[in-house]
Amino acid sequence: MQESKISNALTIDVEDYFQVSAFAPHIPRHEWPSRECRVERNVDRILAMLDQHGTSATFFTLGWIAERYPALVKRIAAAGHEIASHGYGHERATDQSETAFFADINLAKLILEDLTSQKVKGYRAPSFSIGHTNMWAFECLERAGYLYSSSIYPIRHDHYGMPDAPRHAHAVGGLMEVPATTLRFLNRNWPASGGGYFRLMPYGLSRWMLRRINHADQFPAVFYFHPWEIDTEQPRIPGISDKTRFRHYVNIHRMEARLHRLLDDFRWGRMDHLFLTDV
């Protein structure tokens, strides 16, 4: 039951299970083309779910995926969802030079726009990898023609995070940065978005956090997850640490049912429709 009239942004990072940053030491990039690709069937399941609930969303899509599954990208766009960029090859922005980063985001944008014949307005950095050390990335995004970014997560985390960043949408130069959603509680930002946290926490806690953000802050939330998070049959990666195994696989079998509840309990929409004034 949708209690709030505020619409929230539902976002999906379109990448496959073997492209997860935590798996990088175990799955070399040159092995990607030979791996079983499961992203197409998982995204199609998500599209059916969104259609069932009458919900639109934003799909931050890798250029690498779009080149191999162009019909999938066209299906997403044809269903009324926003196609945005996740870069080309899922390389963290912090691992790239300024020149390499611009080439990556520009190539992804060109591929996605060529497939959809629509302007790609948004970008999300892999692993929320824009922070204090590479703020030049925003100038690159603006130069490449993006209008907004969702690349900062204002939390403390061992792989990413910028806890002192603004919690809600704000301008960075000529670009709009729309961070993943956090709840401010006990003088700390707590993650209220993201498939991993959503799978780990009881559903009731996630719902309470999002409702509090809608009602107390009076702001839309930005929620994200990945197609592999509904895939219980994905290959298990050997040799990973206990922490990585827990983070990646915890409660995957419960994820799809929880997403159905989430779509029932809140209003959802596309990033560009919620945060840009020119659409």
The residue extents of the domains of the chain are 7-275
**Closest to 75 (Cα-Cα) out of 115, 113, 38, 104:** 115
**Cα(138)–Cα(175) distance, rounded to whole angstroms?**
7
- pTM for the full predicted model: 0.95
The two tokens of residue 228 are 């592999």
What pLDDT is recorded for position 156? 67
Write the CATH number of the domain with boundaries 7-275: 3.20.20.370
Question: What is the sign, positive or negative, of the torsion defined by CA atoms of 112, 114, 116, 118?
Answer: positive
- pLDDT single digits (tens) 54-86: 999 999 999 999 999 999 999 999 999 999 999
Confidence (pLDDT) at 186:
79
Which pLDDT score is estimated for 185? 83
pLDDT tens track for 116-146? 999 999 999 999 999 889 999 999 999 999 9
Give the CA radius of gyration of the chain: 17
Q: What is the pLDDT of residue 4?
A: 63
The yes-or-no verdict on residue 159 having pLDDT over 70 is no
pLDDT tens digits, one per residue of 192-243: 888 788 999 999 999 999 999 999 889 999 999 999 999 999 999 999 999 9
pLDDT digits (tens, 9 = 90+) for 5-49: 899 999 999 999 999 999 999 999 999 999 999 999 999 999 999
Confidence band (pLDDT; 50, 70, 90) for 162? confident
Give the contacts of 238 (CB within 8 A, at least 6 positions apart): 26
The CA distance from 252 to 240, in Å, is 17
Per the CB < 8 A criterion, the answer to whether 57 and 47 are in contact is: no
